[in-house]
């Protein structure tokens, strides 16, 4: 089994440590991982802004980079969801369908494909989980509070394997942080208010770290935490799962 | 009301300025969302009910013409006078002609979002007809000359002190009085007088049964019944999509409606109207007003399944933080943002973008409308039809080119990180909406791609040392 490592554009540029943690974690678990160097972006920023018709070249490049792998894994639920729902090709629809069915967010790859039961990780801190909406309601990584169904959570399942880690309970466990792609600048006032309220939920419940499967949400929450000189830090879940502190 | 020129972002920004008020608004709606959660989780078959409701509505939408004809025939058989209106103007003219024929100059209305969509009140007032909204929330909004900000809770954006002030000004209560019980009593006294003196009453319609030709009106205040039963002319306005095939289907919808709206098991009054009582005239207006056009848009037709419970608004974090009036449309919130562009794409081009696409709306919806997917689809349509700003089109084109070209993408990334590290003031300024209330991310020295090129063949230990 060979896994193609998909590192979304903004993670590549701004959060290399999360990408490194993802790579190391997968290798630690015995996975053969390859990073195709010519990758860029999944096309979501354009598509979510209404410019899906401008994404064909992004799609083609993505297919060129990732068609040959058994699985494609990325530390970003949002980008994975976009690939799953929207990557298409007029030239080779079968290839696009193959990629759509083989792409996984890191956490779901660990729980559903590798079926990880031990992690040998240590992170002795109080951690709040920020459920990214695309992970929660798009990829169904956990049960959402809207539905009348039994609870489960793939991120919690993994974080419970981390030594010393204590999860904090939030007042609103699955509310959106307000990042929303270009929404964060187009609707700056609402976006920031939503982010501030999410941060408050974590801080008042005692979190030292806020973690998530999506760095885009974390980038937004981190920006608010830093502006307010908060001691609380944002950290991608791959870094916790790969941590041996 | 019609003359707004600000878009959602600007109106939301103004609403958010009073942060304490926003917190209160957010909390009040979240409290209702929690009541809805509790109520829905007390019914083991909740998800099956949602599925049933969605499928019944799918059937209705696929056979709408037949059900409407069936409904009309049965309603006429029951003695109801049925009218058809293609748009708002025609609907308003029909109401006016009914009143004019009887020389009636006063009308009491119970809640009907359709008549709000049609701006019936303004239309009638211009023609010398006095209209009073008898739903308490709408009554308050009418006193303030403001449209409802929420389809179920029309004045949820107002605090009791503001309502006390309005009552002081318009109804003569003492200044500073804001006790809800007292204010409600005052409103009730005023409305009682209205109910007994008006000759004509208008209600909305929640459900119309094709099989029997009857319609159902749901309220918590009983005001629809008061108006309808005391009047000599009763008018009901309904959108074409309110049809359910058979009476037995009502059980599904009545169980879902109030639980989704307010967390109640059922609305206090779920009144069935079938035929006029002796000496009374009963009119029903079937209104299209854009609905058949939406039915013809495959990606948006399911929006017509909506039963107007407001659950999507209560759950939507954008709605809770920005207030219903920021949507500048009668039906606000997520569902309004997919209904509004159908009526006027240019005027409402901003609304499908007033969302983070978090998906909570779709999952809370009792008839399973894929609201957030439709918001995404509207964005594509709006851009395709040319309603995106030129600056946005240009920046998106530039972005699409950079993000699909590995060489330029790496160079731009390096340049971006260099800027963040070396000359942060170039981006940390007031022209950058991100920076206004948030710090920019740190600019790491190298990208993951650059790191990987150097370290890929090393052992993890060596990788760690060189980090």
Residues 166-225 (B) with a CB less than 8 A from some CB of A: none
CB–CB contacts below 8 A, A to B: 217
* pLDDT for res B457: 64
Strand partners, B133: B109
Lowest mean pLDDT among A3-7, B54-58, B381-385, B432-436: B432-436
Q: What is the pLDDT of residue B128?
A: 97
Question: How does strand B130-133 pair with strand B106-109?
Answer: parallel
The Cα-based distances of A214 to A219, A236, A237, B29, B294 in angstroms read 9, 7, 8, 27, 35
Q: pTM of the predicted model, to two decimals? A: 0.95
How far is the first Cα of chain A from the last one, in angstroms, to the nearest whole number?
30
Beta-carbon count within 10 A of B102 CB: 12
For residue B85, pLDDT over 90 is answered with yes
- Provide the pLDDT confidence category of residue B466 given band limits of 50, 70 and 90: very low
> What's the pLDDT score for residue B4?
60
Task: Tell me if B409 sits within 8 A of B402, measured CB to CB.
Answer: yes
Across chain A, what does the average pLDDT equal? 97
SS3 A142: strand
Task: Report the SS3 class of residue B144.
Answer: coil
Asked if B396's CB is within 8 angstroms of A188's CB, the reply is no
CA dist list (Å): B378 to A49, A183, B134, B352 = 10, 15, 35, 6
Q: Does B359 touch chain A (CB under 8 A)?
A: yes
**Chain A residue with minimum CA distance to B442:** A14
3 state SS of B458 = coil
- How much is the average pLDDT of B89-97? 98
Task: With CB atoms and an 8 Å threshold, state whether B379 touches A50.
Answer: yes
- Report residue B417's pLDDT band, with 50, 70 and 90 as the boundaries: confident
Using CB atoms within 10 Å of the CB of residue B269, give its burial: 0 to 12 exposed, 13 to 18 middle, 19+ buried.
middle
- Whether the per-residue pLDDT at B415 is higher than 90: the answer is no
Return the residue of B nearest to A150 by Cα. Answer: B41
The whole-number pLDDT of residue B467 equals 42
Helix then strand then coil, in percent of chain A rounded to 5, is 50, 15, 40
The H or E element containing residue B203 is: strand B200-203
pLDDT in tens, B346-375: 999 999 999 999 999 999 999 999 999 999
Mean pLDDT, residues B136-143: 95
Please state, in angstroms and rounded to a whole number, the distance separating the CA atoms of residues A225 and B192.
Answer: 54
Strands B214-219 and B269-273: antiparallel
pLDDT at B458 over 80: no
- From the number of C-beta atoms within 10 Å of its C-beta (0-12, 13-18, 19+), residue B466 rates as exposed
Q: Which residues pair with B440 in a beta bridge?
A: none
Average pLDDT, whole number, for chain B?
Answer: 94
CB count, 10 Å around CB of B79? 14
A40 and B406 within 8 Å at the Cβ level: the answer is: yes
- Residue B161's contacts (CB-CB under 8 Å, 6 or more residues apart) are B178
Strand order in the sheet with B243-244: B243-244, B207-209, B214-219, B269-273
Please indicate if any CB of chain A lies within 8 Å of the CB of B19: yes
Residues linked to residue A103 through DSSP beta bridges, in sequence order: A72
Q: What percent of chain A has pLDDT over 90?
A: 99
Sign of CA dihedral A157, A158, A163, A169: negative
Q: Do B448 and A16 touch (CB under 8 A)?
A: yes
DSSP B222-273: -HHHHHHHH-SEEEEEEEGGGEESSGGGHHHHHHHHHHHHHS-SS-SEEEEE
Residue B438, pLDDT above cutoff 60: yes
Q: In the beta sheet, which residues pair with residue B201? A: B108, B234
B431 near A CB under 8 A: no
Q: For residue A52, list chain B residues with Cβ-Cβ distance below 8 A.
A: 380
Q: Are A236 and A18 in contact (CB under 8 A)?
A: yes
Count CB-CB contacts under 10 A for residue B165. 18
The Cα–Cα gap between B133 and B127 comes to 17
- Six-digit token pair at A191? 């976006």
The distance from CA B64 to its chain's CA centroid, rounded to whole angstroms, is 23
- Chain A: residue whose CA lies nearest to B451: A16
B10 vs B466, more confident: B10
Cβ–Cβ of A227/B438 closer than 8 Å? yes
Nearest to A176 among B356, B433, B440 (CB): B356
Q: What CA–CA distance (Å, rounded) separates B299 from A19?
A: 37
Q: What are phi and psi of A12, to 5 degrees?
A: -55, -45
pLDDT tens sequence across A205-222:
999 999 999 999 999 999
Contact B392 A49 (CB under 8 A): yes
User: Could you give the dihedral angle defined by the CA atoms of residues B94, B100, B101 and B102, in that order, rounded to the nearest 10 degrees?
Assistant: 120
Using CB atoms and an 8 Å cut-off, which of residues 228-247 of chain B contact chain A?
A: none
Residue B2 has pLDDT above 80, yes or no: no
Give A152-200 as a 3 state SS string: CEHHHHHHCCEECCEECCCCCCCCCCCCCCCHHHHCHHHHHHHHHHHHH
- For chain B, give the percent of residues with pLDDT over 70: 97
Name the β-bridge partners of A166: A126
Which one of B16, B373, B400, B453 makes the best mutation probe of the A interface by having the most chain A beta carbons within 10 Å?
B400
- Confidence tier at B419 by pLDDT (50, 70, 90): confident
**Range name among B50-54, B256-260, B440-444 with the lowest pLDDT average:** B440-444
Sign of CA dihedral A59, B369, B23, B18: positive
* pLDDT-above-90 percentage for chain B: 87
Higher pLDDT, A1 or B243: B243
Q: What is the pLDDT of residue B165?
A: 95
B447 confidence band (pLDDT: 50, 70, 90): very high
Residue B267 has pLDDT above 60, yes or no: yes
C-alpha B68, offset from chain centre: 25
pLDDT in tens, chain A (245 residues): 999 999 999 999 999 999 999 999 999 999 999 999 999 999 999 999 999 999 999 999 999 999 999 999 999 999 999 999 999 999 999 999 999 999 999 999 999 999 999 999 999 999 999 999 999 999 999 999 999 999 999 999 999 999 999 999 999 999 999 999 999 999 999 999 999 999 999 999 999 999 999 999 999 999 999 999 999 999 999 999 999 87
At B186, is the pLDDT very low, low, confident or very high (cuts 50, 70, 90)?
very high
Q: Is the pLDDT of residue B1 over 50?
A: no
Dist. CA B286–CA B178, nearest whole Å: 40
d(CA B265, CA B269): 12
Q: Which residue has the higher pLDDT, B303 or B2?
A: B303
């Amino acid at each position: 089994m060979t896994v193609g490592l998909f590192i979304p554009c903004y993670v590549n540029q701004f959060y290399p440590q999360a990408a490194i943690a993802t790579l190391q974690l997968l290798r630690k678990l015995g996975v053969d991982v390859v990073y195709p160097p010519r990758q860029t972006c999944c096309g979501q920023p354009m598509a979510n802004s209404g410019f899906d018709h401008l994404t064909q070249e992004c799609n083609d490049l993505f297919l060129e980079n990732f068609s040959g792998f058994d699985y494609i894994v990325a530390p970003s639920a949002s980008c994975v969801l976009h690939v799953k729902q929207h990557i298409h090709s007029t030239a080779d629809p079968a290839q696009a369908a193959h990629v759509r069915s083989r792409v996984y967010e890191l956490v779901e790859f660990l729980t559903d494909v590798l079926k990880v039961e031990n992690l040998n990780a240590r992170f002795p801190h109080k951690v709040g989980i920020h459920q990214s909406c695309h992970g929660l309601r798009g990829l169904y990584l956990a049960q959402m509070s809207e539905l009348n169904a039994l609870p489960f959570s793939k991120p919690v399942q993994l974080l419970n394997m981390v030594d010393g880690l204590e999860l904090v309970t939030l007042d609103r466990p699955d509310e959106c942080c307000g990042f929303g792609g270009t929404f964060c600048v187009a609707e700056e006032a609402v976006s920031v208010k939503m982010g501030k309220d999410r941060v408050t939920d974590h801080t008042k419940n005692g979190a030292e770290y806020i973690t998530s499967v999506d760095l885009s949400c974390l980038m937004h929450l981190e920006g608010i935490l830093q502006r307010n000189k908060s001691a609380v830090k944002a950290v991608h879940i791959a870094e916790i799962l790969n941590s041996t502190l | 009301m019609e003359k707004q020129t600000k878009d959602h972002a600007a109106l939301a920004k103004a609403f958010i300025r009073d942060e304490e008020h926003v917190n209160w608004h957010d909390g009040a709606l979240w409290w209702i969302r929690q009541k809805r959660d509790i109520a829905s989780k007390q019914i083991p078959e909740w998800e099956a009910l949602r599925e049933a409701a969605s499928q019944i509505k799918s059937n209705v939408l696929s056979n709408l013409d037949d059900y409407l004809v069936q409904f009309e025939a049965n309603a006429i058989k029951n003695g109801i006078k049925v009218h058809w209106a293609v748009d708002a103007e025609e609907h308003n003219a029909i109401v006016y002609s009914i009143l004019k024929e009887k020389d009636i100059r006063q009308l009491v209305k119970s809640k009907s979002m359709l008549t709000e969509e049609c701006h019936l009140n303004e239309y009638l007032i211009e023609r010398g007809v006095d209209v009073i909204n008898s739903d308490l929330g709408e009554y308050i909004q009418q006193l303030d000359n403001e449209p409802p900000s929420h389809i179920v809770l029309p004045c949820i954006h107002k605090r009791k002190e503001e309502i006390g002030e309005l009552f002081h000004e318009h109804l003569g209560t003492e200044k500073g009085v804001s006790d809800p019980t007292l204010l409600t009593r005052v409103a009730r006294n005023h409305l009682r007088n209205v109910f007994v003196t008006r000759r004509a009453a208008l209600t909305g319609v929640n459900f119309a049964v094709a099989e029997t030709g009857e319609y159902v009106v749901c309220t918590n205040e009983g005001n629809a019944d008061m108006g309808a039963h005391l009047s000599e002319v009763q008018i009901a306005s309904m959108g074409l999509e309110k049809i359910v095939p058979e009476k037995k289907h009502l059980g599904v919808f009545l169980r879902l409606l109030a639980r989704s709206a307010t967390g109640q098991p059922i609305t206090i009054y779920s009144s069935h109207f079938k035929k006029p009582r002796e000496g009374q005239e009963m009119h029903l207006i079937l209104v299209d007003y854009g609905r058949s056009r939406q039915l013809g848009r495959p990606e948006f037709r399911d929006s017509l399944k909506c039963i107007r419970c407001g659950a999507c608004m209560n759950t939507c974090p954008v709605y809770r933080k920005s207030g219903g009036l920021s949507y500048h449309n009668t039906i606000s919130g997520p569902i309004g943002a997919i209904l509004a562009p159908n009526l006027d794409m240019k005027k409402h081009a901003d609304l499908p973008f007033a969302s983070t696409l978090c998906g909570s709306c779709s999952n809370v919806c009792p008839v399973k409308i894929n609201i957030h997917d439709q918001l995404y689809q509207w964005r594509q349509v709006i851009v395709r039809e040319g309603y995106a700003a030129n600056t946005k089109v240009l920046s998106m084109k530039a972005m699409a080119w950079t993000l699909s070209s590995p060489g330029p993408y790496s160079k731009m990334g390096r340049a971006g990180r260099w800027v963040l590290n070396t000359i942060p003031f170039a981006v940390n300024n007031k022209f950058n909406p991100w920076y206004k209330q948030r710090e920019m991310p740190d600019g790491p020295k190298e990208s993951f791609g650059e790191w990987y090129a150097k370290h890929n063949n090393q052992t993890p230990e060596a990788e760690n040392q060189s980090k």
